[in-house]
Amino acid sequence: MLNKLGADEMSSNDTDNTDPVWIVFRVKVLEWRCNVGRELDIIDRMCLDDEDVFAPQGSKPVPCQCRPGNSVSKRHPPKGLPESFYNCKWQKKQDEGWKEMVLCVSKQQFEWLGINCVEEDQ
């Protein structure tokens, strides 16, 4: 999934620095993207806990909030993704010709896997 989406297709952030002690990023909503929030959260948690990914020195990871009230990203949807990567409701609003000619939706099938997570006691 991450290889297909790429770094340019991830949500950007707005800084919420209303609390002077703690900064939180509000993730912008990508209307075109299917809901992959759970999958991305799992990847984030795995990376944050992995000492090989984040060294103890330097900038620390900052919490991000994904909420329905967050601002909508102005990014254009990427071309050539499998149809299952695009939000169904968003797709229904798009012209069929636009989907084929501009988005160039891939006919390739993408197999979504069920993910079961077991949180370990700490």
pLDDT digits (tens, 9 = 90+) for 2-44: 677 666 566 555 555 555 566 777 888 889 998 887 787 777 7
The secondary structure of residue 37, as a DSSP letter, is: H
The verdict on residue 36 lying in a domain is: yes
CA within 13 Å, CB half, 68: 0
The verdict on residue 121 lying in a domain is: no
pLDDT band for position 87 (cuts 50, 70, 90):
very high
Q: What is the pLDDT of residues 31-77, one digit of tens each?
A: 999 888 778 777 777 766 666 665 666 666 666 777 778 899 988 89
Q: Which residues contact 80 (CB under 8 A, 6 or more apart)?
A: 103, 104, 105, 106
Q: Are 25 and 15 in contact (CB under 8 A)?
A: yes
pLDDT band for position 111 (cuts 50, 70, 90):
confident
**Cα separation, 114 vs 39, whole angstroms:** 10
The verdict on residue 56 lying in a domain is: yes
Indicate if the pLDDT at residue 105 is higher than 90: no
pTM of the model: 0.65
The verdict on residue 8 lying in a domain is: yes
The verdict on residue 106 lying in a domain is: no
**Cα separation, 66 vs 13, whole angstroms:** 10
**Cα separation, 23 vs 17, whole angstroms:** 5
Which residue range forms the structural domain that includes residue 32?
Answer: 2-75
Per 3-state DSSP, what percentage of the chain is helix, strand, and coil (rounded to 5)? 30, 15, 55
What is the count of structural domains for the chain?
1
pLDDT band for position 89 (cuts 50, 70, 90):
very high
**Residue 16 CB coordination number (10 Å):** 15
In terms of DSSP bridges, do strands 64-65 and 13-16 run parallel, antiparallel, or are they unpaired? unpaired
Q: What is the pLDDT of residues 92-102, one digit of tens each?
A: 998 888 878 88
The verdict on residue 109 lying in a domain is: no
The verdict on residue 92 lying in a domain is: no
pLDDT at 57: 65
Residue of higher predicted confidence among 108 and 3:
108
The verdict on residue 63 lying in a domain is: yes
Which amino acid, one-letter code, is at 110?
F
